[in-house]
Amino acid sequence: MSDYVAYWSRADVDRIVAEVYSAPFSLIQASGTTTFETAADVSAFLTQTFAKLRESGYGESKLNHFEVCRVHGDLAVVETNYTRYQRDGAVMGSEGRAATYVLRRTADGLRIVAVIPHTE
């Protein structure tokens, strides 16, 4: 999770797609679920997300803590708490953001297959 947050802070789409996420990848929000079927779809989604974040003054994220909540076979559920910062160091939005991640063991190791953000 620490590597993921470092890649996210650098907007390193290539590393996130290659080392962190697995396709298909689902974003599960209160408004509905979006599934990105291919690595190219995930890459396009991340590129658009980082462009929006940069436009909003995003600088970096810091992982406050995470906890593996349940492991069953090749699945793990991880709860995280993190903070986003603007380029000037101010907290961006809520200080205690949270998200749930579903990870699946693949031939390449554990990969995130779904994210449920608790903070919009």
- Whether the model clears a pTM of 0.75, i.e. scores above it, the answer is yes
- Bond into 117 cis (ω within 30): no
Tokens 């919009």 identify what position?
Answer: 120
Contact 116, 34 (CB under 8 A): no
Q: To the nearest whole percent, how much of the chain has pLDDT over 70?
A: 99
> Under 8 Å CB-to-CB from 35, ≥6 apart: which residues?
24, 25, 26, 27
Dist CA 80 CA 92 (whole Å): 17
> Under 8 Å CB-to-CB from 115, ≥6 apart: which residues?
25, 26, 27, 28, 99, 100, 101, 102
What confidence tier does 4 reach under pLDDT thresholds 50, 70, 90? very high
Distances (CA, A) of 61 to 9, 10, 11, 97: 6, 9, 10, 10
pLDDT in tens, 18-60: 999 999 999 999 999 999 999 999 999 999 999 999 999 999 9
Q: For 15-60, give the secondary structure using H, E and C.
A: HHHHHHEEEEEEEEECCEEEEECCHHHHHHHHHHHHHHHHHCCEEE
